[in-house]
Chains A and B, each alone.
Chain A
Amino acid sequence: MNIKLRSLFCILLWVILPLATFVSCTLPANESIPLASFTENYVNVSIYLERNSEGNYFLSGIFLPPEGYHLYSKDIPIHGVNGLGRPTLLELAEESEIKALGILTESVEAQEADFDPKELLVYPAGAVTLSLPIKLPPGNHWIDEELKVTYMACSASQCKLPVVGKIVPIRIPGVNVFGHP
C-alpha cells in the first residue's frame, strides 16, 4: 500500500511538476505581465507586456490622469502645437534590444480641442492605453531594458507639469523564455 502510494506520488510529481513549470513559464494569450507602474505629476502609468491570440507581443501603457483631466494625442509634436501641450508617448529607448514591429496605437481616438489651436488634439478625459507591437529581445532569460514615457494632463482650466522622456526601467523576458523562438 505504501509502495503503491509512493509510486503514485512519484508519477504525479514527474507529470505535474514539468506541466506546472511549462504553464507558469508561458504567457497565455490575451494575458499580460506587469512591467512597471508609477505615478508622477498626478498621472498613474502602468506598463504591461501582452500577448494576443496570434502570439504577437505588445508593450501597453495605461495612462490614468486625475478625474476631469485629459491627455494629449500621441500624434502632436513632442514640443506641442505652437508650444502648447505635450504628446502621450510610450517609446523604446534608443539602444533597446526590443524591436518595434509597428506603430503606436491608441485605445481612444483623439479629438480637436475646444480652443485654438485646433491642431492640438486631445483624448477624452480619462484613461488612455497606448500599445506598441514588439519583437522580444533574443535570449532565454529576462533582461533589463528601458522605456521612455511622455505625457501631460490638463483639465479645461488647469494643467499639471508635463513628464517628457521619463526613463522607465523594466525587466522583460527574452524571446525564448516562453519556450517558442
Chain B
Amino acid sequence: MNKKLMLVLATAIFLACNFLFPKNPASPPEEIIAPPTDPALQPSDPQDLAPNGFTIVRLHPEDGDLQNMLADEAQKATALGQMPIVEFDATWCPPCQAIDAAIKSRDELMLKAYSGTYIIKLDVDEWRWDNGRVQDFRFDGIPVYFKLDSEGHQTGKVIDGGAWGEDIPENIAPVMDKFFHGK
C-alpha cells in the first residue's frame, strides 16, 4: 500500500516539476540582443520582451497610475540606453496589428528602425480613449507614438500612421527610423 502511494506521489512530483520548469521556455533569453543587466529593470511583462535590441512592454490601468508607471518605465529605458516611446494601439486596429506582425516576423527593416527603443504600449480601449485624448495624451488616430523624456514626460515629438502610406515595412520603417533616431 505504501509503495503504491509513493509511486503515485513520485509521478505527481515529476509531472509538476516538468510543468513548472519546462526545459524549453517559449522565449529563450539568449535571443534578447540588449537584455536588461539588472533583474529589477525587467519590463512589467517579461513575455513582451522583443528579441532584438529594443524592448516592448504593455501597461494596464489596473497596475497603477499611468504617469507613475511611465516614469518607472522611462527610468528602465534610460538604464538600458534605450529611448522611451509610448505607443497607443488597439486589438481592432488593422494597421497596429500589421506593425506588430512585421516585428514578430522579424522583418529586418522594422527591427533596424526599432533598435534602441523602449516601446511602452497602451491599449486605447483599456485606457479609455475619449474625445481624442487619453489623460494628457492627445491624438486623433492610432497607431500613434509619443517620445518621452527620461522622467516619462512627453517631449512633444509625436508621429502617427498618417506619416506613411500603405502599412508595409518598406513604408513604415524609414519613417519610424527617422522619428526614432533623427536620421
Which residues of A come within 8 Å of B, CB atoms? 42, 80, 83-86, 113-115, 120, 152, 154-162
Contacts and interface: CB of A to CB of B under 8 A. Distances in A.
B129 A157 contact: no
Contact of B140 (A42, A80, A154, A156): A42
Contact of B94 (A42, A84, A160, A161): A84
Q: How large is the interface on B (under 10, 10 to 19, 20 to 34, 35 or more residues)?
A: 20 to 34
Interface of B: 90-98, 124, 129, 140-143, 160-167, 171-172
26 contacts: A80-B92, A84-B91, A84-B92, A85-B92, A114-B166, A152-B92, A154-B93, A154-B94, A155-B161, A156-B166, A156-B167, A157-B95, A157-B162, A157-B163, A157-B164, A158-B142, A158-B143, A158-B162, A159-B90, A159-B92, A159-B94, A159-B95, A159-B141, A159-B142, A160-B141, A162-B92
Given A156-B166, A158-B160, A161-B129, 8 more contacts: A42-B140, A113-B94, A115-B94, A154-B93, A154-B94, A158-B142, A159-B142, A159-B161
Contacts, number: 61
A158 B92 contact: no
A83 to B, nearest CB: 5
Contacts of B165: 156-157
A161 B143 contact: no
B144 to A, nearest CB: 8
Given A115-B98, A115-B167, A158 B161 contact: yes
Contacts of B164: 157
Contacts of B97: 84
A159 B90 CA distance: 9
A45 B82 CA distance: 44
The interface centre, meaning the residue of A86, A152, A155, A156 with most chain B CB atoms within 10 A of its CB, is A156
Contacts of A160: 140-141
Contacts of B92: 80, 83-86, 152, 159, 162
